[in-house]
Structure 1
Amino acid sequence: MSGSIVTFEKPIKHLGLADWHAHTWGTQQTANTRRADTFELRHQARQLRNETRIKTEWDTYHNDVRLADRITELGRWKETLEEQLKRIESDIKSLTDEKAATERELDFLDIHLSIINECIAARDARGGSELTYDDADTELKKELCVVEGIKQMLIDRCQSCWEKINRLEEVKFKVQLDINDKSEAIEIDKDMLTLDKHCTGISFKPDPLGVPRRSISHQNWLEHSRYTKLLADNELADTAQMREALFIVRERARNNLKAQRETADYALRKRIYEIQRSKNEVQWQGLQMKEEMQSTLDEIIALEAAFQDKTDAIKLAETRLQSRAQRPGYEASRDEPEMGIRDELTQLLQTRKDLADKIDCAKATYNALEDLQVKLNEGLENKNHALMTDLRCLDLRARLKTEEGTINTETQRNIVLTKMEKEIPPT
């Protein structure tokens, strides 16, 4: 018995040969289309890669140039502001030196005022007729007014200078702050200029396109830089003039004080000469008074001796008359001796009266001379005190010449006035 083979088929639909050929052709067409699309995609991708690479490189290059230009611009403004800062610091130092010199001048004026007040107080202690409103007193009081006026003027100048220095310090702070900001910006831009896409310090940042709140436009930044420079220029514009004004005021004040001091010294010397001449006159008058008093005293002694002599003569005449009045009888006659003795007694009484009056007059004259001598002595003491006072005032005022400084020669003074101390080598 012959055997049979069992065959099995998948329970799915089988394609016909035509369908098979159609499926094969469709697969071929699909593959060709996909390859064409892939080629076009690769071409477009290559073109995009090249275009983006070139654009990125040129954008990076342009931004590097912009950063370099920005660094250069910041550097120029930084140098400009640094020059302004140096000028500000120099002017602050110069103004500070001028202010210190003016304050030293004010200290000297305080010494000047104390010396003038001491001189006025000393001259006010004069006594008697020497307490006068003379030229020296007038010039000293005028000098006091001049010194007080100059002191107030220098105080006002110092106040203005102090305010100017404060404004310069404020501007200096603003300029220094701007310079620091620009230096920091330059360092940041330099660091950014050194970065590239291969550096390790780069990373993604949150919200990189966000505008910072403190961000300003370039025009506003430029206006701010110009304003800072203009502010410094405006403050520096009158500093030289202020320094010159301080120097001129000090020199003018010194000249005015010197002129007034010499005028007051001349008035004191003139007054000393007048007092010395008056003192010599009083001394001469005192010597003459002493001689006259001695002569008057001698005359009084002589008058008293003459008065005593006339008293004895009167006693003699009265005794004769009294004794002759005792003559007896007709012998008691008014004969010539009687008449002569009576005339003699009358003359003696009149002479004694005249002598007494003359003695009283001489004593009154002597007393007047003695009183005058006392007044002359008092006047001489007052003149000696006034003379010593004025001489002491001159000695006190001699300190004013030494307190002005150690400029002993005209050459040293010219060196100081022209500020050539640093140019001349030390000897």
Structure 2
Amino acid sequence: MAKSVTTYEKPTPHIGLADWYAKQWELEKSAETRRSDAFDLRNTGRIIRAETQIRTEWDTRMNNTRLEDRVTELSRWENLLQSLLERLELEIRLLKDDKADTETELENLNIPVQVTAQCISMRDCRRGTELTYDDGDTELKKELCVVEGTKNTLTNRVQAAWEKLNRLEEVRFKVNLDLQDKRETLEIDRENLSLDRTCANLSYKPDALRTPNNSISYDTWLEHCRHIKLLADNELSDTYSFREAIRVIRERTRNNIRAQQDFTDFTLRKRIYQTQKAKNELEWQKLKMQREMDTLQKELTRLDKALLAKTDAIKCAETRLENRTCRPGFELCRDESEIGLKEEVLQLRQTKEDLTERINCAKATYNGLESLLIRMDKNLDDKQHSLMTDIMCLDMRSTLKTGDRARLANETDRNIVLTRMEKEIPREN
């Protein structure tokens, strides 16, 4: 048949209607499958997102809590170590002050040693019988021993204080070092606690899960902190007692030295009193001896005159006897006159011998008195020298008394001060 319209078809194979329905069904099933898979995927993604968000938030919160607890714990240890460090610094300062005071006390002991040694040397210059081992000499030597013993005791205490200071400074260094580490750790942890996912300077880190080579366990760290605290507590526990012991020893040695000095001064004053008393007694004896020597000298003069008178009397009696030998004849008889003259001569001769013997005895006595007087003069001079020596020793030792122990105008004023009698004495109008 004739065609009025020309039609054209693609030169590709055409499918049938059944195949079209099949293709359509296949597309529907594929779309449903894809939609189901997309729904499952969306649901699974939503669940994963929710779970991961919750886990991330809880992990972050738990780690923040852990960091806060760690910061609190570190802060507590920091405060504790800071308190220990302040106590250590206070004890070190106080112990240094006590050590300096003890060293000053030790240096001040050089003056008592020098004064005591000079007093011993000065008293050793006494002369004659005054050079004795008296109580003053004994107490001076005892005082020297007390001062030397005190120097040894204080020296040992200074050495012990130096060793204690070294230990305290070593502990302070360890505490300070640990405190600095904790402060740096606190700064790091506080900075980490302030970080969140919105902060700047966040980046991936290479091998963030690595464990540092020098890291330790928490138990080891806690044991180290307790060890530092125990070390500081042990050193601080006896520091106060140690300082008090130094002060007690310093005061005790000072009191011992003062007591010995006072007793030595008392002994020297007692010796001065004894020496002055002996000097006064010797001067009185010297005065009586001088009077006795004057009396004896006068007696010697009278004895010499008496002897001279007896010599003339003997001459007269012997001359009479000699003249009577010239009587002539029977007149040369032994009459009573001759017998009386002979008895007179014998008596005068005996008297002369007695007078001569008495004069010799008197001269010997006078010479003995004169020798004794010379000895007494020498002894008086020695006593005067000893007296001046002891007085000079007391004056020299007055430099040892300072403060309320300083020498007053006289011993009466000193006794008034010592016995606190100034309130009992009425004031002068």
Q: TM-score, normalised by structure 1?
A: 0.80
Question: Counterparts of 1:31-70 in structure 2 under 5 Å?
Answer: 37=37, 40-41=40-41, 43-70=43-70
Q: Which residue of 2 aligns with 1:191?
A: 191
Deviation string, structure 1 residues 128-169 (Cα, Å, up to 9, x no partner): 222233333333333333333333333333332222222111
**Taking every aligned residue pair, what percent have the same amino acid on both sides?**
52
Q: Which residue of 2 aligns with 1:214?
A: 214
Greater mean deviation of Cα atoms: 175-184 or 91-100: 91-100
Instruction: Measure the CA separation in 2 of the matches of 1:383 and 1:405.
Output: 30
**Which SS does the other structure have where 1:203 is aligned?**
coil
**Structure 2 counterpart of 1:148, one-letter code:** E
Does structure 2 retain, via aligned residues, the 8 Å contact 1:108–1:403?
A: no
Q: 1:236: how far off?
A: 1.1
Aligned to 1:304: 304
Answer whether contact 1:171 1:231 (CA < 8 A) is retained.
yes
2:292 maps to: 292
What's the CA shift for 1:242? Answer: 1.7
Any conservation in 2 of the 1:108–1:404 contact (CA below 8 Å)? no
The answer as to 2:155 corresponding to 1:117 is no
CA 1:91/1:404 → structure 2, altered by over 3 Å: closer, same or farther?
farther
User: Are 1:138 and 2:138 counterparts?
Assistant: yes
Select between 366-375 and 269-278 the one with higher mean Cα deviation. 269-278
1:28-177 correspondence to structure 2 within 5 Å: 37=37, 40-41=40-41, 43-177=43-177
CA RMSD of aligned residues (A): 3.4
CA gap 1:405/1:160 in 2 versus in 1, 3 angstroms = farther
> Does residue 1:269 correspond to 2:272, yes or no?
no
What secondary structure sits across from 1:197 in the alignment? Answer: coil
8 A Cα contact 1:279 1:383, kept in partner: yes
| Residue correspondence of structure 1 range 338-357 to structure 2 within 5 A | 340-357=340-357
Rounded Cα–Cα distance in structure 1 between residues aligned with 2:151 and 2:401: 18
Could you list the per-position Cα deviations for residues 223-258 of structure 1 after superposition, in whole angstroms to 9, with x for gaps in the alignment? Answer: 211211111111111122222222222333333333
1:368 to partner: Cα distance: 0.6
Q: 1:405 to 1:100 in 2, by over 3 A?
A: farther
Q: 1:365 deviation in Å?
A: 0.8
Structure 2 portions without partners, runs of 5+ = 1-9, 409-429
Give 1:74 shift: 0.9
Query: What amino acid maps onto 1:96 in structure 2?
Result: K
Aligned residues: 396
Of the structure 1 ranges 258-267 and 361-370, higher mean CA displacement relative to structure 2 is found in: 258-267
Shift of 1:172: 1.0
When the two structures are superposed, what TM-score results if normalisation uses the length of structure 2?
Answer: 0.79
Deviates more, 1:104-113 or 1:214-223: 104-113
2:378 aligns with 378
- Give, as a single letter, the amino acid of the residue that structure 2 aligns with 1:100: A
Structure 2: distance between partners of 1:255 and 1:303: 70
Q: Cα 1:327–1:131, aligned 2, differ >3 Å: closer, same or farther?
A: same
